[in-house]
Structure 1
Amino acid sequence: MEERVLHFKRRVLANLTGYGLEGESRLAKHIEKLQAGSYPAQGGKKLYTAEDSRQIREVDAPWPLPKFDRPEVLAFFYSKGGVGKTTICANIGVTLAAAGNRVLLIDTDPQASLSLLFDVDVDQEIYTLGDAVEAVIHDKPADFRKGLIRPIKDLQLDLLPADNRLVWTDMLMVQAQYREKLVEQVFICNQALLEEYDFVLIDTPPSVNSLSFSAVAASNRIISVVQLSKMAIKASGNLFKLARELKKGTGRVVPITFIPNMLHGGKPHTRSTLDIIRASIDSESSSKVGITATVIPEYVGLARPKGHEDGQKTLLEAEPLSLTTQKFIELSREIETLAMLDRGDENHG
């Protein structure tokens, strides 16, 4: 497997740190002061890494790096497949990490789509969240550090992969007591490890089962991706039902944030789609439900098939200066803001 790296040009660094094109001259002063960046071995313009983003955002940047005493856990959940949930989870994870955050991705889908996107050989023996859950059920150590993979060099992004054995994990959980708290128990067992991260992103299977319910119960917020499809929008009913069951079982109201995906501003039915989503939100006024200001546009680059000549890459790796990549940078800023709001709610809750 070829080693993946993520080095980017100054314009991308400017976008990630909030300077933008108009602030590149100010950014240049910080680059010089911090001695950020390095020249590639074969020559050419200076390139930068996530560590440069982190240093600049910690010193002085239009978009400062948030400080968390514990990770923000986000469960990417929707009960319909094919809406782009896994792709968006991966792109947000990489973008957050490139902007200087420490990110852990957890794949809980037996199809292992997130793991495959990062070139994990799921046919090899790997340690998954399912192994950790089974360990907790049988009162054994549940250390998933040994299962972590760092798929992109120079990026503080780790992945706990998945494989098809998670189907059996879900069946085992059905028979367990307090199954909605099992993932939370795994996190407690791995608290010291989790404190090394700013964000934990959980990609759940496209169905309501014991594992996805437990993952949502262990999260600070549900991230739900919706597309321009009646079936996809109707599936939000299952999401709201899950949230109500979670409140009934644990007493917690987990905030829900919708990310509209594959929408095109030039299409007249885009506005009606957003109106339908907002109407669904209004009907759930008792819950903390919202929709991102950033809408992911309809773009073929988000659906790279297996065997593509560039491989399965996130947009920041493949097309760092595209408009859709910029949308993910804007979306990552919204995610950071939501994380800070969640901290405020916890402090005043």
Structure 2
Amino acid sequence: MRPRCIAIANQKGGVGKTTTAINLGAALAAEGQRVLIIDLDPQGNASTGLGIDADQRNYTTYDLLIEGMALQEIVLPTEVEDLWIAPATTDLSSADVELVANENRVFLLKDALAPEFLHGFDIVLMDCPPSLNLLTVNAMAAADAVLVPLQTEFFALEGLSQLMMTIREVRQSANPRLRIEGVVLTMFDMRNNLCRQVEEDARANLGELVYETRIPRNVRLSEAPSYAMPILQYDPNSRGSEAYISLAREVLSRQMQPA
């Protein structure tokens, strides 16, 4: 059976996409899922945050999309049991320019996700770059759903409308099965009135699309990437770790519900 493929996307930078990819991936693995993360961000932070050094990245998602290399040739195991990654480097930053002349440019990732290799995984998470470029559109064309990290800040909902429009366009032109998996509130601080107001607005506008789980502002969560570990390894008892375990359980429970 084909694994569920989820693109983690938001064109705004610094909202917690990569943090969510790393820590949701690790939490899903802790819940018994075999997880593959596909790093589509030229910064390669998901790869770094899972302990994949630059000299280990002989082949990357650039080779997957541009050179036509097979997925199984680039995927690497991480230190987390049942969690693998297709790493990225800055080579990927030129992908938009190199892909623009390719008639199949929107479907390259979809074509690269060979069923015979993916059958060993339960969930695939795609860490998208902070823009609505060809890499993000490739992820949406290949995905079953989009998970949106939404930072609880003043302009959070304004940028969301553009993302929703892109999702609708991809659904109409390239991937009719695409849907919104959910919206997760990140960098949440209960003591902050603005955070609470953004949450109220998000739930009023988006309803059940907003996960019950909120990802808190948490020092240990911020520290973990510098040690190349997900929070579940770095500090399993922290609030950040508890939040991502809770989110993983929500993701799995929604997956079991009928579409």
Fold shared, TM-score > 0.5 on shorter chain: yes
Which residue number corresponds to residue 6 of structure 1?
none
Segments ≥4 residues shifted beyond 6 Å: none
Letter of the 2:70 counterpart: D
Cα contact 1:246–1:253 (8 A) shared by 2: no
Of 61, 66, 77, the match for 1:150:
77
Deviation string for 1:178-198 (max 9, x for gaps)?
3222211111xx211101000
Mapping for residues 125-136 of structure 1, pairs under 5 Å: 126-136=58-68
Cα contact 1:226–1:258 (8 A) shared by 2: yes
Letter of the 1:176 counterpart: N
Say if 2:255 is the partner of 1:336.
no
Cα contact 2:25–2:37 (8 A) shared by 1: yes
| Structure 2, unpaired ranges of 5+ | none
Which residue number corresponds to residue 274 of structure 1?
199
Cα contact 1:112–1:161 (8 A) shared by 2: yes
User: SS at the partner of 2:12?
Assistant: coil
Quote the Cα distance in structure 1 between the aligned partners of 2:178 and 2:154.
25
Mapping for residues 61-76 of structure 1, pairs under 5 Å: 69-76=1-8
User: SS at the partner of 1:293?
Assistant: strand
Deviation string for 1:325-348 (max 9, x for gaps)?
12211111111122223xx33xxx
CA-atom RMSD, angstroms? 2.0
Displacement of 1:297:
1.5
Mapping for residues 1-349 of structure 1, pairs under 5 Å: 69-122=1-54, 126-136=58-68, 142-152=69-79, 155-187=81-113, 190-250=114-174, 252=176, 254-256=178-180, 257-281=182-206, 290-304=209-223, 311-341=227-257, 344-345=258-259
Displacement of 1:162:
0.1
Q: Say if 1:219 and 1:91 are closer, same or farther in 2 by CA, change over 3 A.
A: same
Quote the Cα distance in structure 1 between the aligned partners of 2:95 and 2:126.
16
Displacement of 1:151:
1.6
Quote the Cα distance in structure 2 between the aligned partners of 1:232 and 1:122.
33
| Structure 1, unpaired ranges of 5+ | 1-68, 137-141, 283-288
Quote the Cα distance in structure 2 between the aligned partners of 1:169 and 1:263.
34
Deviation string for 1:127-174 (max 9, x for gaps)?
1222122244xxxxx312121211215x01111100111122222222
Letter of the 2:238 counterpart: S
Letter of the 1:164 counterpart: T
TM-score (norm 1): 0.69
Quote the Cα distance in structure 1 between the aligned partners of 2:123 and 2:177.
20
Displacement of 1:255:
2.0
Quote the Cα distance in structure 1 between the aligned partners of 2:175 and 2:96.
23
User: SS at the partner of 2:216?
Assistant: coil
Displacement of 1:250:
2.6
Q: Say if 1:81 and 1:335 are closer, same or farther in 2 by CA, change over 3 A.
A: same
Cα contact 2:51–2:229 (8 A) shared by 1: no
Cα contact 1:304–1:312 (8 A) shared by 2: no
Quote the Cα distance in structure 2 between the aligned partners of 1:87 and 1:191.
27
Displacement of 1:254:
2.2
Letter of the 1:186 counterpart: A
Quote the Cα distance in structure 2 between the aligned partners of 1:329 and 1:251.
30
Larger radius of gyration, structure 1 or 2? Answer: 1
Quote the Cα distance in structure 2 between the aligned partners of 1:277 and 1:235.
12
Deviation string for 1:35-55 (max 9, x for gaps)?
xxxxxxxxxxxxxxxxxxxxx
Cα contact 1:227–1:233 (8 A) shared by 2: no
Task: Give the aligned length.
Answer: 258
Cα contact 1:128–1:144 (8 A) shared by 2: no
Which residue number corresponds to residue 139 of structure 1?
none
Task: State the identity as a percent.
Answer: 29
Q: Which structure is higher in RCO with an 8 Å CA cutoff and minimum separation 6?
A: 2
Quote the Cα distance in structure 2 between the aligned partners of 1:174 and 1:281.
34
Displacement of 1:270:
2.6
User: SS at the partner of 1:262?
Assistant: strand
User: SS at the partner of 1:281?
Assistant: helix
Cα contact 1:126–1:161 (8 A) shared by 2: no
Cα contact 1:173–1:211 (8 A) shared by 2: no
Quote the Cα distance in structure 2 between the aligned partners of 1:338 and 1:181.
27
